[in-house]
Structure 1
Amino acid sequence: MNTANVTTARAAYRSNAVATASPARLLVMLVERLVLDIERGHSAQLSGSWEDAHRNLLHAQDIVVELESSLRVDQMPGGRELASVYEYLRNRLVLANVRRQPSVTAEALLLARQICDTWREAAMAAAVS
């Protein structure tokens, strides 16, 4: 199989996975991508690849903005608190990016991983119910 066919197959698989995913799975996929972007941004910062770090951290910020905008704080217990966590994470990502501080990126990564784990657990619990 040539490279073009593999790339096309991967794109089709990803597209199908997103199109058929439940809302809970979509949320988990989104926060998993958030973690990946921050990991990549952190790695790029550590190697001095500031353009790559900026691109990945900017995409992570976009994901957090999407999470914030889709959150219905009045329709879920702890909604306001979660909104505050998202806001804090977004602010840390901005600071890490603007000041080029890997230590702040590492802090954001830790928080993003915790958010991801929490949403995974919630999605699994909802699937079992």
Structure 2
Amino acid sequence: MYDVRSRFLADTVATAGPSRLLTMLYDRMVLDVERAEAALLAGDRVEATNQLSHAQDIVAELIGSLDAEAWDGGPGLLSIYTFLLSELLESSMTGSVERTAGCRAIITPLRDAWHEAAAAAAAPAAVPTQRTASFGAETGASTGLGVLGVG
């Protein structure tokens, strides 16, 4: 059966830019880990495992799409992702609420940082204002020409 919500979500993902996709992945990963933590506290290991598995899939996707050589912070971020994947797997296998909370404590600041970076990248660049050049300032005359000498 046709599910409107699924179609809307698919369209949103298909039309999102790279920074929006990244922030969407992080938002979902935080949600998955929060749900897993709640499920573990409620004693529902099956639900916790499902949520942690989805978070693992997201981290694996982030690892696969990261070009660690493209920037100075790439190798460090790859190390964080690798550690996080290991911890998510261990949390899933052991059912540890503490480990799951630790994963959330790693993911949340990363998500916030990526949201800030995406917002900064989307902000319009400052447009320089046109100033008039002051040629012949010694006489107080102004030609009315712009900065580059054009009106």
- Common topology (TM > 0.5): yes
Q: Hey, what does 1:89 align to over in structure 2?
A: 84
* Residue 122 of structure 1: how far off its partner (Å): 1.0
* Structure 1 residue ranges without an equivalent (≥5): none
Which of the two has greater helix per residue? 1
Aligned to 1:59: 54
Q: Which runs of 5+ in 2 are unaligned?
A: 126-151
TM-score, normalised via structure 2 length: 0.78
Report the Cα offset of residue 17 of structure 1: 1.1
Q: Cα RMSD over matched residues?
A: 1.4
Structure 1 length as normaliser, TM-score? 0.90
Q: Residue 112 of structure 1: SS of its match in structure 2?
A: helix
Q: Identify the match of residue 76 of structure 1 among 71, 79, 99.
A: 71
Identity of aligned residues (%): 40
Bigger radius of gyration, 1 or 2?
2
Counterpart in the other structure of 1:118 = 113
Match for 1:53: what amino acid? A
Structure 1 stretches (4+) deviating beyond 3 angstroms? none
- The amino acid that maps onto 2:99 is V
Shift of 1:77: 2.5
Amino acid of the residue matched to residue 39 of structure 1? E
Query: Aligned residues, how many?
Result: 124
Using the alignment, how far apart are the partners of 1:9 and 1:68 within structure 2? Answer: 31
Which structure would you say has the larger RCO, counting Cα contacts within 8 Å and 6 or more residues apart? 1
Tell me the SS of whatever aligns to 1:75. coil
